[in-house]
Structure 1
Amino acid sequence: MTDALQLEIDGPIARIAFNRADKRNAISQAMWEAFPRLVEAAVAERGVRALVIHSATPAMFSAGADIGEFAEKARDPVWQAANRQALRGAQLAISRAPIPTLAVVDGDCVGAGCGVAIACDMRIASSRARFGITPAKLGLVYPLHDIKLLIDLVGPGQARRILYTGELLSADEALVIGLIEVGTTVEALSREAELLIARIVENAPSSTTGLKGLVRRVLDGDRDDDAASAAIFDGAFAGADFAEGLAAFAARRKPVFADR
């Protein structure tokens, strides 16, 4: 495990922090390899209902892939294959995590760093955040899975503009085109992020997990219910979370959903 990524469990919230400020949180091969293990550890922790990815250092998220490492090793086909698989494994671990995920972006979120952010369910950013996907400036391309995530957020036209130009977008523009869900000031970023995640984790964990899975199916191309999705819908009525939700509604109190 690398110290450049840090996992912290804070009650119902797990946090993975970039911690490589001297390299502007550039993502190395070791960091890509660590991501799935950290996500798995977070999800396995009893009571964890959401995952936040952020930077341990203010005014930066991630400058992207470690270009120095690329320059040194990219012509090695064995390393290149391992890097491609590690990057894919990290992106899949984040995008397919069963619990809601949130990227908190303060500062530059570029290239592979932007790939991490768009793999999350939602993004909240400060006014000094900038977003860009810049492989075209280096003679490289972007993984198909990441391009799919980008198109899901902003549509094909905006995705083409972002990819073909490699330009950096302000937080304001990112909000307008749907690349982020919430924009706020630098001073309010932490507070707004905590409020957003608190509203999520206070809800029924079976609901958020079920809803996330169904959203993912839609994004993967499903268009109608089948036996599996119908079973999820029907099964909720017999669940303990629904029983607690009904009891709380009847008593006019806030529900308290138990950890599973």
Structure 2
Amino acid sequence: MSARAGETGSDDLVLIEVRDDRVALLTLNRPDKLNALNGALRRRLIEVFDDLENDDAVRAVVLQGAGEKAFVAGADVAEFAGRSVEEQRPVTWRRRIYEVVADFPKPVVAAIHGFCLGGGCELAVACDVRVADPTARFGQLEVRLGLIPGGGGTQRLARLVGPGQALRMGLSGDLIDAAEAHRIGLVEVLVEKEGGHLEAALTMASRMARWSPVALRLVKDSVRHGAEVSLADGLDYERERFLEAFGSDDGREGVAAFVEKRDPTFRGS
């Protein structure tokens, strides 16, 4: 396991650890603020994901929050409390971390403990898979402030858990525990042991990172696209992505390795 030099200082907003299994562990590092998403943290996280997109040493990412209390407890409300609509509009429409994570071409696994609220819940939903421990608590609390979710909490969340569950969370402003989040499909993996979520997330990401980066990207692309179109259109799109994988160097290598009864060597082309 190796750390990326110059990027893991204790005062950095995002700690980066690149492991030998080609998994990058990213730690949101504002534990005194429950890792609330202020502008500086959002910008730094976008920079990190942009760098990792073109880093061939990384094939999967795990995202966690520092400290014992939270994954991400939401947006930093104090940062926008005094803004007018005119001042908030360009902030709302600029490139956002939610889309950056959702569109990232490599697998992203959220390792969740403690509070995962508001923008933090939306960040988790933007990831591909969510792994939680029993301490996790989820909620879209914006209605308590007279606001609505603005980072995917009415859209990505509804596609993940269904409109009814998204409405229950968005309209009530109530928290749900880890077991309930797992029951409704907000969490894919719920570990029994407190603190065991990180190991489980890293293991999952490591298993993903073994495979062809081309295939990983195309699986993500096909699933995301299919959620926005009809089944017929989605199946047509899937056929074309299959042919794209079939014609890749990795596709040829994978088939040859299977026939020759050896482990494949995927190079991402």
Same fold (TM over 0.5): yes
Partners of 1:130 and 1:144 in 2: CA distance = 18
Instruction: Please state how far the C-alpha of 1:118 moved relative to its aligned partner.
Output: 0.4
Q: What's the counterpart of residue 45 of structure 1?
A: 55
Q: Does the Cα contact within 8 Å between 1:59 and 1:107 map onto a contact in 2? A: yes
C-alpha distance in structure 1 between counterparts of 2:237 and 2:186, whole Å: 31
Q: Secondary structure at the match of 1:147?
A: coil
Correspondent of 1:141 among 137, 148, 154: 148
Query: Which residue of the other structure, out of 85, 103, 110, is the alignment partner of 2:93?
Result: 85
Distance in 2 (CA, whole Å) between partners of 1:39 and 1:230 is: 29
What's the CA shift string for 1:164-194, capped at 9, x where partnerless? 1111111100000000100002242222112
Aligned to 2:116: 109
Q: Is the 8 A contact 2:118 2:139 kept in 1?
A: yes
Match of 1:186 in 2: 194
Decide which structure has greater helix share: 1
Distance 1:8 1:258 in 2: 22
Deviation at 1:195, TM superposition (A): 1.5
Q: 1:75 aligns with which of 59, 63, 84?
A: 84
One-letter code of the match for 1:103? A
The answer to whether structure 1 residue 201 and structure 2 residue 193 are counterparts is: no
TM-score under structure 2 normalisation?
0.87
State the partner residue of 1:9. Answer: 18
Give the conservation status (yes or no) of the 8 Å contact 1:29–1:83. no
How far apart are the structure 1 equivalents of 2:42 and 2:15? Answer: 13
Corresponding position: 1:132 with 2:142: no
Equivalent residue in structure 1 for 2:175, among 168, 171, 187: 168
Deviation at 1:259, TM superposition (A): 4.2
CA distance in 1, matches of 2:85, 2:43: 18
Q: 2:159 corresponds to which residue?
A: 152
Q: Distance in 1 between matches of 2:248 and 2:39?
A: 42
Which residue of the other structure, out of 103, 106, 117, is the alignment partner of 1:96? 103
Gaps of 5+ in 2: 1-6
Q: Distance in 2 between matches of 1:187 and 1:20?
A: 19
Partner of 1:221: 229
CA distance in 2, matches of 1:251, 1:186: 43
What is the identity percentage for the equivalent residue pairs of Structure 1 and Structure 2?
33
| TM-score, length-scaled by structure 1 | 0.90
Aligned AA (1:116): L
Q: Where does residue 251 of structure 2 map in the other structure?
A: 242
2: CA distance between counterparts of 1:245 and 1:111?
A: 42
Query: 1:55 maps to what in 2?
Result: 65
Structure 1 residues 121 and 164, CA, compared in 2 at 3 Å: closer, same or farther?
same
Partner-residue secondary structure (3-state), 2:96: helix
CA distance in 1, matches of 2:244, 2:33: 48
SS at structure 1 position matched to 2:207: helix
CA distance 1:208–1:18, change in 2 (3 Å):
same
- Asked whether the equivalents of residues 119 and 146 of structure 1 are also in contact (C-alpha less than 8 Å), the reply is no
Task: Kindly report the root-mean-square deviation, in angstroms, between the aligned alpha carbons of the 2 structures.
Answer: 2.3
How far has the Cα of 1:90 moved from its partner? 1.2
After TM superposition, give the deviation of residue 76 of structure 1 in Å: 6.7
Task: Provide the secondary structure at the position in 1 that maps to 2:154.
Answer: helix
Change (3 A) 1:82 1:7: farther
- After superposition, the C-alpha distances for 1:20-55 in whole angstroms (9 at most, x for unaligned) are 011111111222233322211111112321122111
What letter matches 1:164 in structure 2? L
Length, aligned pairs only: 257
Note the alpha carbon deviations across 1:112-158, whole angstroms, 9 max, x for none.
Answer: 11110001111000111110110011111112743110001110001
Unmatched 5+ stretches in structure 1: none
